[in-house]
Structures are given as C-alpha cells and as structure tokens.
Structure 1
Amino acid sequence: MSRLKSGIKKAIGLGEKKPKTPPVEARNPAKMFPDEPASPARTGERPRRDGPRRDRPARAEGDERGPRPDRPAREPREPRGDRPPREPRGDRPAREPRGDRPARGDRPDGRGPRRGEKPARERDAGDSKPRENFEALPPPPAPPAPEGPFPEAFEVLGLSPAVLAAIRETGYEKPTQIQAEAIPVVMEGRDVVGASQTGTGKTAAFALPTLSRMGAPGKFRCLVLEPTRELAAQVVEQFEKYGKHTGLRVLLVHGGVGYEKQRKGLQQGVDVVVATPGRLLDFMQDGTANLENLEVLILDEVDRMLDMGFLPDVRRIVERTPKSRQTLFFSATMPPQIKTLAEFALKDPTSIEIGIRFSPAETVSHYMYPVASDQRQELLLAILKKTHFASLMIFTRTKAQADQLYSALQQEGEYKVAVMHSDIRQSERERALKGFRDGEFEVIVATDLAARGLDISGVTHVINYMVPENSEDYVHRIGRTGRAQKEGDAYTMFSAEELPSVASIERLINQKIERKKLEGFTYKYTTVLDEEDKARAILHGRGKKKRR
C-alpha cells in the first residue's frame, strides 16, 4: 500500500521537490523520446529521488538502441544550477575587467611590453627610454704629421710617421720577430695567418701596419674580433696608444653593458671597431653596424673563438664583409680545425709562424703533482706556503672551484687575493686585473676566461688546480709566465682520473713533464702517487667495462 500511495503522489505531482523539477523534466522527455507522448512515469520525479546511478541501469535494460540510453542519465546534472557556487554564473559580466587588458597597449605602438620591443628593451640593460638614434658627425681632420727622428728598426718597415711617433713615445726600439715578419706583409695589403706564442707582441704586429695603412679619419673601415671583452678592451688600448697621432676613432663593442653608448659611437662615426661577435651581430641585425665599407678584418685569438663556440657567429660576420677586404688571422696556437675557417675567410694568405705550435715558452719549468681528488685543496695550500712567488695565477675548471679557493685563501689571511670569472661584474674584473698588474693583489684565481691573451707581465708562477680538459688550454694557461725570456714555474695537480689528459698535454708539447711530491706533506694513498701504470691500467679496465 505504501508503494501505491507513493506512486499516486508522484502521478498527481505531490511532494516538496515539485517546484524545482518541472522546468528540467519538461525538457528531458522531448529530448529522450521525441516520438512518444510524455507520461507520468517519464515526467521525472524518480530521478530526483533515486539519482542518476539508479536511472542508468534501468533505462539501459529497457532500451535496445545501444549506448544512447546512457546519455539521459547525464541530464539530471542540470540541477547543478541549484548549487550556490554555480548560481553566480549569470553574473559573469564581473569578469569584464579583462577588457582592461588594453592598458598593456598604452605604448606608442599599442603592443604589450614583452613582445613590442624585445631586442631593444630586454637587452639594453638600464635603458628605460626608447631607442635613440644619433646623427652622423663629420670625421675629424687628421692632425699634423709628427717629425722624426723615429726608431730606425721600425721606420724601415714602412710605418707611417704618426705611428712611428707613438712607438717612439713608448720607448720601443726594436720589433719582435713576429712584428718584423708580419708588418711588411700587412703593409702590402696581403692576407696573413700568424701563429706565435703568447707575449710575443702579436697585437702590435697587426695594429701598427693597420693604423699606418688607414691614413686619415673616415668611415668604419677596420674590424677586430676578439673572443672576450677583456681581450677586446686590451686591443682597444693598443690601438689608442699607437694611433694617438692619427686622429682615428676607436670604439669598443662588447656585451655585459648597455647598448646606447656603443650605438652612439657607431652612428656618429668611427674608424676602428674592436668587438666581441655576439654584440656586434646585435648591431648588425638592427642596422646600426654596417660593414659595407670595411677594408680590414682582423680575427684575433681565432682558436679561442672556436673553442668558445663562436665559429657560426664569426662566419656570419665574415659573410657580411666585402670580398675585397684584407683579412688577418692571429692566434697563439694554430690547431688543424682553423684551416677550414682560414680557407673560407682568406685569399692566398701568407703564413707566419713564430716558435713551435702548442709549445710553451722554453723558460718555463713544468711540474706535475699527483694527489688524491679529495686532498687537492689541502695540497695547494701547502704548496703556496713552501713557494716563494712574486705573482701567482691559479686556474680552475669551474667558477665554483674559483670561488671556493678564493674563500679558502682569504681565510688563510696570508695572501692578497682576487678572483675573476664570468659571474664577476665587469667593473670588479677590471679592478682585479689592474690590481694584479699593479701589485695590489699577489694571487689571482681565475677560470680559463683569463687564460688567453691577457697582457699580464711578471707572473712568476702558474698553478693548474686541475688538468685542463682541452690540452691546448694548458699552453694558454702556462703562457702567463716565462714571458720575455724570464723564468717561470708551472705546477699542475692531477688525480688518477686525469691521467689521459696529462698524456694528451705531454703529446701536444712533445715533452715529458716531471712528477713531484711535496716534502713533509701527508699524502692519502692513491695509485697515481707511485704506480701510474697501475692507475692507468685500472682506468683502462673501467673503460672496457663501460664500453661493454
């Protein structure tokens, strides 16, 4: 009887939920059974009581039309509109403040800040104003030619009086070997491949004849590419020193600083640009730097540019220069890989090679210190305490190692120490270099960033905290000492894992390096201390296992 009463109540529409359901159920029968008249059984009070889960199996059993009966079971979800959180759907106009987004376009071009001016805005550190263009200025008149007498050994090479006067003021009387051989060839306008040891006067070998050939100020005619900003800054100093009486304008272009000052120099007019590849390409892409009038292209430290991955950038720059240009290659070393680039960039070049390729200065004494990997820092500090040095450079593989050693040496409190790597701000790196040259610092800890080409004279000792990963880098690191026929010492600490790199260096320089142990130092046992062959055999065995 109770079931009958409940069925009657449903049929006549009694119950508390009636006011809420008719609008929903009035639509459902028409959708589900369009060809059948609506019946009390289908008007839908049962879905309100039993829920969709009890509806689904009942309809699926009585419907032969396949899975379609499952769809009506989802219709009861419509009452979700009863949920308080969903009611405000009708109030969605509250989201209309999205329309305020055009505020991003309150820029001159109406675009947002991220995409509107990405190259200029994001790269120009500290440049909050829109890019400013500068009018070209007429070149300054050439100053009057200085009078002699000039150093005779340089005068016979055919250099201009303005350049000879600057040489006279520096006190140089005799050119180095690479200068004596390269200057006449460059003065003739021929391409050159020059290979010489670091510290042989390579920069002057290309700066002196280039400044002499350029004559009076005019357009942007000479480009010098350098791998790092430090090298670029030093080359600018050399060009300014030797070109002080020529009136030629020299500009330094490199990353790490704002664009506007460099852009101003390029647009107002310049004769010589010394640049790193990345920043120069930026100016070439935005039209600020134009190489169509270039007469001389100088690629310095080419092997280092290749090592640092600049080869694609260098090629792109070379491709944008006139084919009639003169091209000069100068490098402390000449690995075979450079031949490909030389064939691409040079025309019938004259090869000038001073000294032995990959050979450090003969006045340097080399020593290898075997040590367990976890005792490396302890040995370094012990070596310093027993070594008499005037100026010392310590090279590390990583910035983290450099920072760690710098902190350890500072804690010792016995040394005036500076650190230099790519994470150090440019101003601090320049201060470190200047302080090291002037004697303010007696020890400098550096990564390979500082290993090549830096003009630091008087270094008495170089220590490799680890064996360089590239054997060529050993020559560049060691090139800091033993300059100008002065004696120097080079120490390299190595563990068993680094034996293959040690062998590579010895093959490269064609020299067996003496092994040394520090007297009085308590070594941890490692096979590399007394049994290199055994250590090498163990490494060889590990390599075989890995290959399997």
Structure 2
Amino acid sequence: MINTPRTRDERRASNDTRAARPAARVIAPDGFAPFGFHETLCRGIRAAGFTEPRPIQRDAIPAGLEGRDILGLAQTGTGKTAAFALPLLQRLVTEPGDGPRVLVLAPTRELASQITNEIDTLAQFAPVSTAVIYGGVPMNRQIKALRRRPQIVVGCPGRVLDLIEQRILQLGKIETLVLDEADHMFDMGFLRDIRKILAALPRERQNLLFSATMPKEIRGLADDLLHRPHVVELAGNGPAGTIDHALYPVAESRKRELLDAVLQRADSAIVFTRTKRRAQMLATHLQKKGFRAVGLQGNMSQNARDRAMNGFRTRRFDILVATDIVAR
C-alpha cells in the first residue's frame, strides 16, 4: 500500500472534522445522576462542589421535578436552596421562555442575596438569568434588572409588593412561587404583604413553602396555598446537625475573656448578640484584640452590610458579629 501526501484542502477538511466533534458530555456527580438534570446544570452542580445530595434534596427534588407543591419543614443549613432551585432550573432550561417565571420570597436582604448567589452558581452554565430585589437601596438598578425579564426573581416582600403596585414587576407569567423561611417572614410582620402578593399571581402555579417551625398563622397560609403537597420534614427541635454545639457556664464578667479564648481556636465564626449596640461593641472589642472581625446589624447602611457579608464570605474577615434577626 502506497501512502500519498494529503492536499492542503484534505488536511483542512480533516482539521474541520476534528474541530466539529462535540465536546465530551458532562455527567452529574453519581448521587445526582438519577435525577436526569440537563448537562448545563450538571456542570453547575460540579462547580458548586456537590457530590451527594443532602437528605432534603433527595426527598424534595423528585417532587419538584414532577411539579408538585412542597411543604418543607427544614432549618437553615440543610441544603434546601438547591432542593428547590435545581428542579426549577431544569424546567427553565428545558422549556425556555421570557420571565419572570419564578418568584422566591425571603425575609431579609441577606437571605435573598444568599439564595440568588446559590442559584447563580448552579445556573452559571445555563441560559437562565436572575434578579434580586429588596429595600434599603435605590430602586433604579433593580428596575433595570427587571426590565431584562429575568426568569427568576428573588426578593423581600416589602420591595416586591412596592414594585408590583408601581406596575414595574409583572407577575402574569409566574409558574412557581417559593416562600423561604416563612416563619421568619411572619415574625417580621410580612404576612399581610405576602397575601397581597399572592393575589397578583396566576391561580395556576406550583407553590413551595419552607419553614423551620409551623405557628398557626403559617399553618393557615400553607393550607390556603398548597394543594396536596409533598411534605419534607427534616426540622427538629434540636440543633442543626451541620453545626457543633457546646455550652460554657460562665459569669457575666468573664464572658468576653472566654469568648476570646474560644475564638482563638476557630478558623471562622459567627457570634450572635441580642442587641445592635452589643453587636457593634463586641466587634470593636474583637478588632482591638487582633481578630479580623466585623459587625453586622440593622443600623448599618445597606452598602456597609453588603461589605460586611462579602468580606466574611471571602475570608477578609474571620468573625462576623451579628444580631440574630439580621443573620437569618
């Protein structure tokens, strides 16, 4: 057999063929493979560092993919954001269309931003856009984001209702409503705003409600909102299993001394206080002791609160001192 040199055109055709070969398909981590997520979401799951689904994800994701209503009784830190976000993203990727199609309500600006960041991580390779809206900052940037018709809107009830009443936020295409930390929204007096928002939504939609506790007012809301829901019950009366707990009996006069000693052994920590004043005083005390600490409380401007949260997330600060209502 005689080998003859290939012409330039033949070499170019061969190179074009190699270039046109599809990239290797990205497979979800083994624990997520049975759910059958779109390849773009599989890439996002890997980028988020997920390997095995958490219990709430194993239980809630199949029901979410079926379009069922869900009542989730779960604490913070259980993985519930991915549990509701992944099925919603699967629908948005496989059935594209203009938004907003998903509305997520959260009690605080910090939680709304946290939810948005996690969704953005999971959807970073997918053609899905998000917008986060909350009070305490000018509306202009949020209005601009809404005019791009994001598929997912995450926000706090007060600002969401304000934009609805100004006819800036149009909810006629909403397919799914998520209420996260519903008990905390009730504690903060948002129940009336939530019911007004519900009146602006299409009647036919999927509803997901997550709460660590079920006071009678939230039980009544769930009964009105959810149709034959799939119930995921992971919340208990004990502490969250993802956090180590210890009790140190100590005199009031020696609290700071003990806290200093405990924090010396911690790589990263959140310290909760009862009042805004105490949060700021303790943050200042820790800074003087040489800790990379920052305070987070309601008297701070939104920009200062964002800087504190971002600094803690990026490890510019190792210790966050916060009032419990702000830290939710």
TM range (shorter): 0.7 to 0.9
* Corresponding residue number in structure 1 for 2:46: 168
- TM, length-normalised to structure 2: 0.85
Contact preservation (8 Å) 2:108, 2:326: no
Q: Distance in 2 between matches of 1:290 and 1:145?
A: 39
Alpha carbons of structure 1 residues 248 and 440: separation in structure 2 relative to 1, 3 Å: closer
Q: Which amino acid aligns with 1:441?
A: F
Q: Distance in 1 between matches of 2:51 and 2:321?
A: 35
Q: Secondary structure at the match of 1:240?
A: helix
Match of 2:120 among 229, 240, 246: 240
Runs of 4+ aligned residues of structure 1 deviating over 4 Å after TM superposition are: none
Alpha carbons of structure 1 residues 291 and 145: separation in structure 2 relative to 1, 3 Å: farther
Alpha carbons of structure 1 residues 382 and 206: separation in structure 2 relative to 1, 3 Å: same
Shift of 1:427: 2.5
Task: Give deviations 1:158-210, integer Å, cap 9, x for gaps.
Answer: 32232122113333221111101100001101100112232221100011000
Q: Secondary structure at the match of 2:25?
A: coil
Alignment of 1:221-300 (within 5 A): 221-300=101-180
Instruction: Give yes or no for the alignment of 1:345 onto 2:222.
Output: no
Alignment of 1:28-107 (within 5 A): none
* Corresponding residue number in structure 1 for 2:322: 446
Shift of 1:368: 5.4
Q: Secondary structure at the match of 1:183?
A: helix
Alpha carbons of structure 1 residues 149 and 439: separation in structure 2 relative to 1, 3 Å: closer
Q: Distance in 1 between matches of 2:159 and 2:76?
A: 26
* Corresponding residue number in structure 2 for 1:210: 88
Instruction: Give yes or no for the alignment of 1:424 onto 2:300.
Output: yes
Q: Distance in 2 between matches of 1:392 and 1:234?
A: 18
Task: Give deviations 1:261-311, integer Å, cap 9, x for gaps.
Answer: 211222332211001111111111111112121100010111111111111
Q: Which amino acid aligns with 1:187?
A: L
Q: Which amino acid aligns with 1:268?
A: R
Alpha carbons of structure 1 residues 268 and 439: separation in structure 2 relative to 1, 3 Å: closer
Alignment of 1:307-346 (within 5 A): 307-346=187-226
RMSD: 2.2
Alignment of 1:138-537 (within 5 A): 147-214=25-92, 215-354=95-234, 356-362=235-241, 364-367=244-247, 369=249, 371=251, 376=252, 378-387=253-262, 388-411=265-288, 413-452=289-328
Contact preservation (8 Å) 2:27, 2:39: no
Task: Give deviations 1:468-492, integer Å, cap 9, x for gaps.
Answer: xxxxxxxxxxxxxxxxxxxxxxxxx
Answer with 189-198 or 157-166: which moved more: 157-166
Q: Distance in 1 between matches of 2:137 and 2:203?
A: 32
Alpha carbons of structure 1 residues 420 and 171: separation in structure 2 relative to 1, 3 Å: closer
Q: Secondary structure at the match of 1:364?
A: coil
- TM, length-normalised to structure 1: 0.52
Alpha carbons of structure 1 residues 150 and 405: separation in structure 2 relative to 1, 3 Å: closer
Q: Distance in 2 between matches of 1:202 and 1:426?
A: 26
Q: Distance in 2 between matches of 1:244 and 1:444?
A: 28
Count of equivalent residues: 302
- Highest CA radius of gyration, 1 or 2? 1
Shift of 1:424: 1.3
Contact preservation (8 Å) 1:217, 1:247: no
Q: Secondary structure at the match of 1:274?
A: strand
User: Structure 1, unaligned stretches of length 5 or more?
Assistant: 1-143, 453-548
Contact preservation (8 Å) 2:44, 2:121: yes
Shift of 1:219: 2.5
The percent of aligned pairs where both chains have the same amino acid is 39
Q: Distance in 2 between matches of 1:260 and 1:438?
A: 27
Q: Distance in 1 between matches of 2:219 and 2:39?
A: 36
Q: Distance in 2 between matches of 1:270 and 1:336?
A: 34
Answer with 382-391 or 419-428: which moved more: 382-391
Q: Secondary structure at the match of 1:297?
A: strand
Alpha carbons of structure 1 residues 180 and 145: separation in structure 2 relative to 1, 3 Å: farther
Contact preservation (8 Å) 1:217, 1:249: no
Task: Give deviations 1:189-248, integer Å, cap 9, x for gaps.
Answer: 110011223222110001100010123242311100011111111111122111223212
* Corresponding residue number in structure 2 for 1:497: none
Alpha carbons of structure 1 residues 364 and 168: separation in structure 2 relative to 1, 3 Å: closer
Q: Which amino acid aligns with 2:98?
A: G
Q: Distance in 2 between matches of 1:321 and 1:177?
A: 31
Q: Distance in 2 between matches of 1:437 and 1:380?
A: 26
Q: Which amino acid aligns with 1:433?
A: M
* Corresponding residue number in structure 1 for 2:9: none
User: Structure 2, unaligned stretches of length 5 or more?
Assistant: 1-21
